[in-house]
Structure 1
Amino acid sequence: MGTHRRPKPPSRARIATLGVAAGAVSLLPTQSQAAPKPTVDEVRKQVELLYEEAEAPTEEYNGIAEKQKKLQREVDATQDRLARKQQEINELREKIGPLAAAQYRSGGIDPSVQLFLSSDPDEYLDKAQVLGRTSDRQAEALRALHSKQRELAQERADAAKRLKAIQETRAKAKEKKDEVQGKLAKARKLLNSLTAAQRAKMEADQKREDAAAGASDAPATYNGPASGRAKTAIEFAYAQLGKPYEWGSTGPNSYDCSGLTGSAWRAAGVSLPRTVKQQYDAGRKVAKSDLQPGDIIYWYNDDQHNGMYVGNGKAIHAPRTGKNVEIVPLDSMPFFAASRP
């Protein structure tokens, strides 16, 4: 059987020479390396896609931000309770008497203070009272002090958990915010790569498409069939026509989609949750054939995009970055569901 020989590895000098040669070749300008600049239409499609992709993380961000606010309120309330309990403990220490309080603070071994080292302080106090080691008043004060301290320790543990939860939600919110801003930054970069003339053409094309689809952001007064709260909500939404879409915004100068629907119904005295998904889950579902002005429309799915039905086959919504609050035909996007607040 013949000896199998490995091929001799190239010398370091040979590797260096090949590296230089490869580098030299890569530096030569070639036609294939110069990527063709995207056309205005290609840029517009890429920008539209990026804006669409930013919608889902925007709604996730809104949900996380709401959770963060709730946790912060809970933490604030807990800290208030902690302060009150600490004050109560301080007052109880004063009641116990200067000597017992001093021994307690210094870790003294007076029998009336040893209860804090006992596995069952209440049982110890009962025995101490029988043996006449501590007065009824002092025993009661010590028992109350011990109870308050246990409560304080539990409150502190709860506060620590909530603070940890806040830190986690902040990290998640930042992640979603970065995701949205990353997509919007890419879109801006693409738009900035166009010349002024190309940008003007793109805007003109967009306006033509919107007009053909029946979209309108011209300020108008609602004179449809709605009444009561639904009419108030629609009138509020109409007053926002032409205001820009801004992710994460609930007004008054700009809105995202669920920010507009929530603000409109809030103006009518109805409190809706923050996100598209939460609004979908909270509302009473209605069939497309039973739509009434004021109903909330969900397009695509239950957590991406929503608006408000205004009657006559039209809806008002905050579309996406770069566009304004507008009125569109109900079927300008794939209808998914509708709910009634």
Structure 2
Amino acid sequence: MGTGRRGLIAAAVTVVCAVTVLAAPGTAFADPGPAPPPGATAPGTKDLEAVRAELDRLYRAAALATDQYNAAEERARRQSAELAALARKITEGQEKLARLKERAGAAARAQYRSGGLPDEAKLVLSDDPGEFLDGTGRVIQGQRATKGLITETDRAQQDLKTYAGDASAQWEKLEENRRAKAAAQKKVEKQIAAAEKVESELEKEERERLERLEREAAQRAQTAWLDSGILEEVDGEATGDGRKAVEFATAQVGKPYAWGAEGPAAYDCSGLTSRAWASAGLAIPRTSQQQWKRLRHVEAEDMRPGDLIIYFEDASHVGMYVGDGRVVHAPRPGRTVTITGAGSMPILGVVRPDPA
């Protein structure tokens, strides 16, 4: 921000997810060894399942904090724009007030040059009463113009006072949202750091087996979702804008997840969906929670490609339905944008950005 703009804003103002950090487990996981007999539990499986659940909890908490960060960022961006608009209004108001004062000064100087005599004296001294009456008419017009000038000046001063008060309030809100953004950032970083610490203490074989457990859990959830017969009812076709959004989102497959990112190099979950719809010419809310709150809800059996599927009870994750029971989404830190089963995570509901 330039010094002029900072000075303008300063002048305008003068005028008037809970964070939990867990200690990483200190127990080393045993090598799985030979396959267990039927019905037995492989050594270390229970421990890795606990790790998987803990990682899921930590990354979900990070996702919730990311939503809070994104919401604060969006509000701060909007308030910065409003503050800039108010600054322009204040500048224009100051210039208008200066012009009005100049006009008032000119009128005062003209009255002084005319002598400023009372009307009775002018009538007595006048040789031509008709000329005096004409002059009196012009004086009345001048008085009315002066009264209008005073009224307009008062209004301009009041507008300046209002703009300055609004600017002060917007500045306070902007600072409040900057603080909220910083607090959310700390939450995200702490949750991700805790998750990364848990993962860093796993051996290579354990990490590979953990990934298999994640895929198996997702596949079980997807199978259960498909077994419900949902796809027998889902047959909606994408609109033209929906196809554009899907094409954009699927073209990002393979790019890394980064919290708070809106592309083009990386995305978080709602950054991907909001940018995909922006590419189709439609602005939608930035966060998954606001997408759930503000977009039109549709029944799952009525969904079509381009619709957004909101996940988990806290609406902390979102993916875009691409058809055939699949979604494209940005999963979490350490993962890339991918296409997976739409039912592989707990579904809260479906929303439709497209008004068509």
TM-score exceeds 0.5: yes
Structure 1 residues 202 and 310: alpha-carbon distance in aligned structure 2, compared to 1, 3 A threshold: farther
CA distance change for structure 1 residues 94 and 327 in 2, over 3 Å: closer, same or farther? same
C-alpha distance in structure 1 between counterparts of 2:213 and 2:251, whole Å = 24
Residue type of the alignment partner of 1:337? G
The equivalent of 1:165 in structure 2 is 173
What's the offset of the Cα at 1:144? 2.2
For the 8 Å contact 1:294–1:310, the answer to whether it is kept is yes
* Aligned mate of 1:259, from 271, 274, 298: 271
Aligned length: 265
Structure 1 residue corresponding to 2:288, chosen from 276, 282, 297: 276
Summarize the alignment of residues 150-229 of structure 1 with structure 2, pairs less than 5 Å apart. Answer: 150-192=158-200, 194=201, 198=203, 200-209=204-213, 212=216, 213=218, 226=238, 228-229=240-241
1:98 deviation in Å? Answer: 6.6
Q: Give the CA deviation at 1:247.
A: 1.0
Residues of 1 paired with 2:56 and 2:108: CA distance? 74
1:268-307 counterparts in 2 under 5 A?
268-301=280-313, 303-307=315-319
Q: Deviations over 1:63-108 (max 9, x none)?
A: 121111111111111110000000011111111227969xxxxxxx
Question: Does residue 145 of the first structure (1) align with residue 153 of the second (2)?
Answer: yes
In structure 2, give the amino acid aligned to 1:93: K
Note the alpha carbon deviations across 1:83-140, whole angstroms, 9 max, x for none: 0000011111111227969xxxxxxxxxxxxxxxxxxxxxxxxxxxxxx9x9554444
Deviation at 1:207, TM superposition (A): 4.1
The C-alpha deviation readout for 1:224-278, integer Å capped at 9, x for no partner, is 9745222221111111111111111111111111111111111122221111122
Give SS of 1:83's match: helix
Q: Measure, in 2, the Cα distance between the counterparts of 1:334 and 1:143.
A: 64
- Residues 1:302 and 1:271: Cα distance change in structure 2 (over 3 Å): farther
Which AA in structure 2 matches 1:78? L
Contact preservation (8 Å) 1:280, 1:302: no
Letter in 2 for 1:149: Q
Question: Whole-Å Cα distance in 2 between the matches of residues 188 and 151 of structure 1?
Answer: 54
What is the letter of the counterpart of residue 147 of structure 1?
A: R
The letter for the 2-side match of 1:256 is: D
CA distance in 1, matches of 2:311, 2:107: 73
2:40 corresponds in structure 1 to: none
Contact 2:199 2:207 in 1 (8 A): no
- For 2:345, the equivalent position in structure 1 comes to 333
The answer to whether the Cα contact below 8 Å between 1:297 and 1:309 also exists between their aligned partners in 2 is yes
* Structure-2 change in CA distance of 1:304 and 1:288 (3 Å): same
For 1:123, the equivalent position in structure 2 comes to: none
Q: Which moved more, 1:204-213 or 1:298-307?
A: 204-213
Measure the CA separation in 2 of the matches of 1:313 and 1:214.
Answer: 12
- Say if 2:101 is the partner of 1:90: no
For the structure 1 residues 49 and 39, does the alpha-carbon distance in structure 2 shift closer, same or farther, using more than 3 Å as the test?
farther
Instruction: Kindly indicate whether the alpha-carbon contact (under 8 Å) linking 2:62 and 2:188 is maintained by their aligned counterparts in 1.
Output: yes
Name the CA shift for 1:257/1:92 in 2 (closer, same or farther; >3 Å).
Answer: same
2: distance between equivalents of 1:330 and 1:91? 64
* Cα distance in structure 2, aligned partners of 1:286 and 1:154: 43
Aligned partner of 1:313 in structure 2 is: 325
Residues 96 and 138, structure 1, Cα contact 8 Å, conserved in 2: yes
In structure 1, stretches of 5+ residues that fail to align are 1-34, 102-131, 216-223
Superposed counterparts of 1:30-179, under 5 Å: 37-39=26-28, 41=48, 45-97=53-105, 135-179=143-187
Contact kept in structure 2, 1:59 and 1:303, CA below 8 Å: no
Q: Shift of residue 210 of structure 1? A: 5.3
Q: Post-superposition shift, 1:53?
A: 1.2
What amino acid sits opposite 1:177 in the alignment? Q
For structure 2, the 5+ residue unaligned runs are 1-23, 30-47, 110-139, 221-235
Higher relative contact order (CA 8 A, sep 6+): 2
CA drift of 1:149 comes to 0.9
Structure 2 CA distance for partners of 1:243 and 1:210, relative to 1, 3 Å: farther
In angstroms, what is the RMSD of aligned CA positions?
Answer: 2.9
- When residues 145 and 315 of structure 1 are mapped into structure 2, their CA distance, relative to the original with a 3 A threshold, is same
**2:60–2:316 Cα contact (<8 Å) kept:** no
Q: State the distance in 1 between where 2:181 and 2:206 align.
A: 33
1:324 aligns with 2:332: no
Q: Distance between the aligned counterparts of 1:333 and 1:240, measured in 2? A: 21
